[in-house]
Structure 1
Amino acid sequence: MAPDLRSLATHHGLTLAYDDPFGETAPRPVPEETLRLVLRGLGVDPDAAPSGKGAAQRMTVPRGARCWLPPNLHEAPGWGFFCQLYELRSARNWGIGDFADLAQLAGLCGEAGADFLGINPVHALFLADPDRRSPFSPSNRRFLNPLYIAPDRVEGVEMPEGLEALRETEMVDYAAVAALKIGALRQAFDRGAERPQQEAFAREGGEALRLHALFEAISQRMVDEGHGAGWRDWPEALRDPARAEVGALAQELAEEVAFHIWLQMIARRQLSEAAQAAKEAGMRIGLYLDLAVGEVPDGSSTWSGAAAALPGLTVGAPPDMFAARGQNWALSAPSPTELARTDFAPFREMIGAQLQDAGALRIDHAMALWQLFLIPEGESPAEGTHLRYPFPDMVAALAELSQKHEAVVIGEDLGFVPKGFRRAMASANVLSYRILVFEQEEAGFKPRSAYPELALACLSTHDLPVLSEWWKGSDIEERRRHGLVDEEQSEQAAAHRREERKALVRRLRQSGTLRGRLNADAPELPEEVLEAAHRFLARTPSLLTAIRLADLTGPAMQTNVPGTTDEHPNWQPRSTVDIAQIAEDPRFARITDLMRSERPRPGTGPAQR
């Protein structure tokens, strides 16, 4: 590689090599063409000499950049729930959990003593292709997914036939839900429901909202004509919203555009009502929303330019011990140059959109504040490189918005965490994300004293099984069944899991949360272990502890199996328990009673430690 290219790449925040995950070879050099591709995306001539100010390379937190925390959280640490919104089951929803279910659940959890209720990302996906269902592969993070609208809470909606069949399904049928729900909402819109309010909402949303609605309208037209829902599969003349052909089509589709603006208005109002229900139920934090790490390359955000995306590159992860070939998340990456040029307006607007109704925000792959691993489209992750981002400026913007909206920020810091990152996040009051089954060292599970105070501690997350299935090793079998590991690797993992179970029981006993004789080789998870694990987390120093609702009421099936798409019903399993019955569930009652005892709200008495 030419010395000038090496110097130029380093000057603009690119890494030139990354370590071999198995430690068998020297660091792998990044291909020259990858460096050139990224530099061109940054607006830099790859053959020029470095000039001007280089990329920010210091992981420093500006003075005063501190995210908000409830004033009494250090004295009275909190707890709450998280769930997948779509999995909620009720007698009134249309086969998918919705914002009215969220409001009901928020009230129920608040009454049980919880301080927050977290859900999966509810970003806009593709209404014209509802089977593109991963909440972590959004079309646009500034807007909401209308499939979460509760139609029976909308003026003028009539109940269609087929609802009972949808309500009884074990898996969310996204295509069927979209056909019934969006069809019924369109009929209400055509009858003039709530049109005056829509005009004010459209004015407030401005050009960004108009372009998103226009994208959705064109997307539906394209699908009807045999194209894909994403703009990269559209005719060339429609791939740029500034083209005259797009302007002409916008006039033709004016009523469809108005409908999509109306859907956003209804969705935002219902999400706000759920946030209000959480506060009215006594929650100190309220709704806890989730922010995906990026947007897909063919969605609304990249089409409109709001994503400020680097062309020809996608986000992923380099090869490591868990994925020898690396990972490609197929998400676009923002240009740090463009972010800086616009005073971080795209970032501020996107974060601000989440915090309209969030008392807490979890940032998926929070390391993106410092760097992203970029992969040339169509290439292996082994061809990728890390690109540094203006960390101090992004943290300052995040802290400013957190304080403005009085919202807690949680940074998902799993996987490869750069040296010093967690320390920097703690200095900015961004909570770490600590998962019990990952908090292990060579000697076994870490003691509760090893958990940091500035953290949210929980049993597992959406990419992991609930504890009862972890105990049985169901996730290991799933990976084997889908060919993600071979038979030998699967057998080794199963043997290791048996040792992990013993180590978990040992740690729970040592912590004083589990007493009496118990067989760690029991085929099913003993109830005593589930309760002891929650009590263990409640007794850590971490300011927040989260209960996964599925650990109490199901579904037992894994939410998402990383490395699969349609091989596993990712993002589809539904709870078997109706929301109206959750408060009466014996396990729910025991665990919430335990949490109230260990982490009472301020003014309700001392914790029984």
Structure 2
Amino acid sequence: MPDAAPSALAQLARAHGVATDYWDWQGSRIMVSDDTIVSVLAALGVDASNDAAVLAALEGFAESAWRRVLPRVVILREGWTPWVPVHVPDGSELLARMHLEDGDLRDLAQVEHWVEPRTVDGVLMGEATLELPGDLPLGYHRLEIDYGDQSASTTVIVTPPHLELPGTLKRDRAWGLLTQLYAVRSDRSWGIGDAADLAELGTWGARQGADFVLVNPVHAAEPVPAMEPSPYLPTSRRFVNPMYIRVEEVPEVGYLSAAEHQLVEWHSDDARRLNHLDRLDRDSSWQAKQAALRMIFRTERTHRRRRDFEVFCEREGQGLVDYATWCAIVMDRGLPWEDWPKELQDPRSDAVTAERERLAGDIEFHCWLQWVVQAQLAEAQRELRAAGMRLGVIHDLAVGVHPDGSDAWALGDVLARDISVGAPPDDYNQLGQDWSQPPWRPDRLAELGYAPYREMLRTIMAMAGGVRVDHIIGLFRLWWVPRGRPATEGTYVQYDHEALIGILALEAHRAGALVIGEDLGTVEDWVRDYLAERGVLGTSILWFERKDGVAPRAPETYRELCLASVTTHDLPPTAGYLQGEHIAVRHELGLLTRPLEEEIRADDAQREAVLAELRRRGLLGEKSTIEDQVGALHRYLTWSPSRLIGVSVADLVGDERTINQPGTDEEYPNWRLPIAGPDKVALTLDELMVSRRAKRLIRCVTRRGR
């Protein structure tokens, strides 16, 4: 028997990409409540609060395209020739032209395509049709039309059909290091791993044959205590955390007076004491750096340095001004910004303009910090490439931003208010997840020609040879949870993946970078096929690659377009996983959903199945140490066709502790642990680079043949 006709509310939801039902992790169909649908539609600016409002919104949606002269944005792949509808008063003379990104101008002709005129708001409207030429170059163009004494325009974005791998990767695979940058401290660090440590680690890795270093997101955090430890909950994804500045490598340090040099030394001495702590202290590290950097900022800059800074500020535009303004006001008034006077909550208000004048010096300081940190990270990338790496740094892109952060303040209604991103219940978290991050509004992104998204990608690509997109399924759909509701009472909202993936490919193409999508978990096959078609690599974790829930998949069956690794930051390092560290921690924190004995039995069975396969294939003897097993697992990975193999820095040193325990906040020191050896004593980058254990594991990955 066919399903009943959808209700008016369901029709309205689907028209706006809001799911009214979904299939859960157990294969059951779940119907989304009307209350959730109404709340999500409200966050999209659609009133569905009663039957009359729903019918009015449906009628308005049916006519919305006719009320727009041109579509919000036109996305196409290179070589496509799409038709673009143009809505103008019936009988209007039409002149259309394309302003290309390089300044060229092209006239466009109409296509013979009759559409019945429609009366909209009392005006008889006609629909003309334009066909875009198939030879438009890649990039961001502007379609403009004149009709009568009026005009209209829209953004046209031409994206690459397929993102090609860098030349040498087409012929040969690459391996590289995976690490949390802040956790890799050298003797010269100020308590936190920084851009210079990244360059040092990377150039050492290059000498071992590594071709990349994949690091955690380096997005901006709060400029005041307490700094959010999770790199996946930043205040801004467009800007960078100045915590990663190496103070001594700021060029202006060379022009300090002797007394000022001494002050920098005092600050560095205080900060370097933090290197001996077994937990990272971001706030103390940043306090010391900030004091030194403010002094350096006040130092006279050379003419060419002044010019470079001015060019940077001009290029970054209003977005940089907004970010720096938010930082300055936060340092003056604190967080959350929703507690500020109402007039300061709007970045375009007269009150904020007045604050910009009052805090001009602090705002310039925060702009300067961005210039310095982005330059140092870009220099690290140049050093890694010069050292012989084929890719260099691969930066991680977080899913979203902190609701109290600068993006949430500066981007206005581009982010959905009273909504948080999360995930529905699954096998690992049967209560669902709420990540406390306001999502992009797909309609507003399109209206802005995806400018905020493009600008964010551009910053990352300028410092990298690649980008890893966390939870890449979020570029297709995201789980929206209305404020005040549990994560179980959310629903999916669709995004224009053709636009988001296409722009990602375009920016990567221009930067000469590759893209890795973190596609773990519940991802439909068609999504993985689509990503592969567009040239986006997937992600494979050895422990998750199973044939029947227990038995490991043969590495020869892994995907080729893929980054394969033994572990990930949401699991313990391999030595810890082999000893059941993840079960012990979850039990201690009360996170297990089954009795401890049952969890141990299931984990032992899965782990033993993998080790048995290693023994069967001659990679492991009957008696083996944990270090032997770690090496054999990595050797097993090299039998896969995967283009990239990742080796965790934590595995190089034999660390056993979990970096992040999902489902916890303060109960576990998430994102606060430096690298350490099996004895849990913190290790420095200097010790890593002379570690025999590290060299032995690297040989497992670089050794040729079976």
Matched, 1:171 2:175: no
* CA distance in structure 1 between the partners assigned to 2:538 and 2:597 by the alignment: 32
Q: 1:285 to 1:27 in 2, by over 3 A?
A: same
1:605 is aligned to none
| Alpha-carbon displacement from aligned partner over 1:416-452 (angstroms, at most 9, x marks no partner) | 2134111111111111100011111325111112201
* CA distance in structure 2 between the partners assigned to 1:52 and 1:493 by the alignment: 56
1:475-554 matched pairs, under 5 angstroms: 475-485=582-592, 488-512=594-618, 514-518=619-623, 526-553=626-653
Q: 1:11 to 1:301 in 2, by over 3 A?
A: same
Larger RCO, structure (CA 8 Å, separation 6 or more): 1
2:168 partner SS: coil
1:518 partner SS: coil
* CA distance in structure 2 between the partners assigned to 1:284 and 1:389 by the alignment: 33
**Contact in 1 for aligned 2:271/2:284 (Cα 8 Å):** no
Q: 1:594 to 1:236 in 2, by over 3 A?
A: same
| Alpha-carbon displacement from aligned partner over 1:349-393 (angstroms, at most 9, x marks no partner) | 111111011111100000011100100012111111101111112
Matched, 1:84 2:189: no
2:683 partner SS: coil
Matched, 1:356 2:462: yes
Q: Which has the larger radius of gyration?
A: 2
Matched, 1:73 2:181: no
1:99-114 matched pairs, under 5 angstroms: 99-114=195-210
* CA distance in structure 2 between the partners assigned to 1:331 and 1:245 by the alignment: 27
* CA distance in structure 2 between the partners assigned to 1:198 and 1:8 by the alignment: 49
1:13 is aligned to 17
Give 1:150 shift. Answer: 0.6
**Contact in 2 for aligned 1:67/1:398 (Cα 8 Å):** no
1:288 partner SS: strand
Matched, 1:236 2:342: yes
1:602 is aligned to none
* CA distance in structure 2 between the partners assigned to 1:535 and 1:52 by the alignment: 60
| Alpha-carbon displacement from aligned partner over 1:508-531 (angstroms, at most 9, x marks no partner) | 23344x143236xxxxx5222111
**Contact in 1 for aligned 2:576/2:655 (Cα 8 Å):** no
* CA distance in structure 2 between the partners assigned to 1:342 and 1:242 by the alignment: 17
1:41 is aligned to 43
**Contact in 1 for aligned 2:581/2:656 (Cα 8 Å):** no
* CA distance in structure 2 between the partners assigned to 1:164 and 1:359 by the alignment: 31
1:603 is aligned to none
Q: 164-173 or 187-196: which moved more?
A: 187-196
Matched, 1:183 2:291: yes
| Alpha-carbon displacement from aligned partner over 1:198-241 (angstroms, at most 9, x marks no partner) | 33322222110011001001011112xxxx2x322323221111
Counterpart of 1:44, as a letter, is V
1:208-247 matched pairs, under 5 angstroms: 208-223=319-334, 228=335, 230-247=336-353
**Contact in 1 for aligned 2:575/2:655 (Cα 8 Å):** no
2:666 is aligned to 566
* CA distance in structure 1 between the partners assigned to 2:166 and 2:6 by the alignment: 53
**Contact in 1 for aligned 2:177/2:214 (Cα 8 Å):** yes
Give 1:596 shift. Answer: 2.6
2:554 is aligned to 447
Gaps of 5+ in 1: 520-524, 599-607
Give 1:22 shift. Answer: 4.3
1:149-548 matched pairs, under 5 angstroms: 149-154=245-250, 155-156=252-253, 158-159=264-265, 160=267, 161-192=269-300, 196=306, 197-223=308-334, 228=335, 230-305=336-411, 308-442=414-548, 444-485=551-592, 488-512=594-618, 514-518=619-623, 526-548=626-648
* CA distance in structure 2 between the partners assigned to 1:534 and 1:307 by the alignment: 46
Counterpart of 1:35, as a letter, is I
2:435 partner SS: strand
* CA distance in structure 2 between the partners assigned to 1:362 and 1:233 by the alignment: 35
**Contact in 2 for aligned 1:78/1:543 (Cα 8 Å):** yes
Counterpart of 1:41, as a letter, is A
2:130 is aligned to none
1:589 is aligned to 695
* CA distance in structure 2 between the partners assigned to 1:276 and 1:554 by the alignment: 30
| Alpha-carbon displacement from aligned partner over 1:388-423 (angstroms, at most 9, x marks no partner) | 111112221111111111111000011221341111
* CA distance in structure 1 between the partners assigned to 2:446 and 2:291 by the alignment: 42
**Contact in 2 for aligned 1:456/1:544 (Cα 8 Å):** yes
2:105 is aligned to none
* CA distance in structure 2 between the partners assigned to 1:398 and 1:53 by the alignment: 28
1:440 partner SS: coil
User: How much identity, in percent, do the aligned residues show?
Assistant: 35
1:139-150 matched pairs, under 5 angstroms: 139-150=235-246
**Contact in 2 for aligned 1:61/1:395 (Cα 8 Å):** no
Counterpart of 1:586, as a letter, is R
* CA distance in structure 2 between the partners assigned to 1:511 and 1:593 by the alignment: 19
Matched, 1:93 2:192: no
* CA distance in structure 1 between the partners assigned to 2:527 and 2:272 by the alignment: 50
| Alpha-carbon displacement from aligned partner over 1:176-201 (angstroms, at most 9, x marks no partner) | 11111111111221334567243332
2:123 is aligned to none
* CA distance in structure 1 between the partners assigned to 2:187 and 2:46 by the alignment: 57
Counterpart of 1:329, as a letter, is W
| Alpha-carbon displacement from aligned partner over 1:52-71 (angstroms, at most 9, x marks no partner) | 58999xxx988752123112
| Alpha-carbon displacement from aligned partner over 1:264-318 (angstroms, at most 9, x marks no partner) | 1110111011101110111111101000011122211121117810121110001
Q: 1:93 to 1:233 in 2, by over 3 A?
A: same
**Contact in 2 for aligned 1:302/1:309 (Cα 8 Å):** yes
Q: 1:312 to 1:2 in 2, by over 3 A?
A: farther
* CA distance in structure 1 between the partners assigned to 2:702 and 2:64 by the alignment: 53
Give 1:13 shift. Answer: 1.2
Q: 1:20 to 1:541 in 2, by over 3 A?
A: closer
Q: 1:568 to 1:42 in 2, by over 3 A?
A: same
Q: Calculate the TM-score normalised by the size of structure 1.
A: 0.91
* CA distance in structure 1 between the partners assigned to 2:654 and 2:371 by the alignment: 32
**Contact in 2 for aligned 1:118/1:288 (Cα 8 Å):** yes
**Contact in 1 for aligned 2:421/2:434 (Cα 8 Å):** yes
* CA distance in structure 2 between the partners assigned to 1:578 and 1:9 by the alignment: 54
1:238 partner SS: helix
2:170 partner SS: coil
Gaps of 5+ in 2: 49-53, 66-70, 81-159, 254-260, 676-681
Counterpart of 1:136, as a letter, is Y
2:687 partner SS: helix
* CA distance in structure 2 between the partners assigned to 1:276 and 1:71 by the alignment: 18
Work out the number of aligned pairs and report it.
583
Counterpart of 2:621, as a letter, is G
**Contact in 2 for aligned 1:555/1:574 (Cα 8 Å):** no
Q: 10-19 or 94-103: which moved more?
A: 10-19
RMSD of equivalent CA atoms: 2.2
Which structure has more strand as a fraction of its residues? 2
Q: Calculate the TM-score normalised by the size of structure 2.
A: 0.79
* CA distance in structure 2 between the partners assigned to 1:72 and 1:534 by the alignment: 23
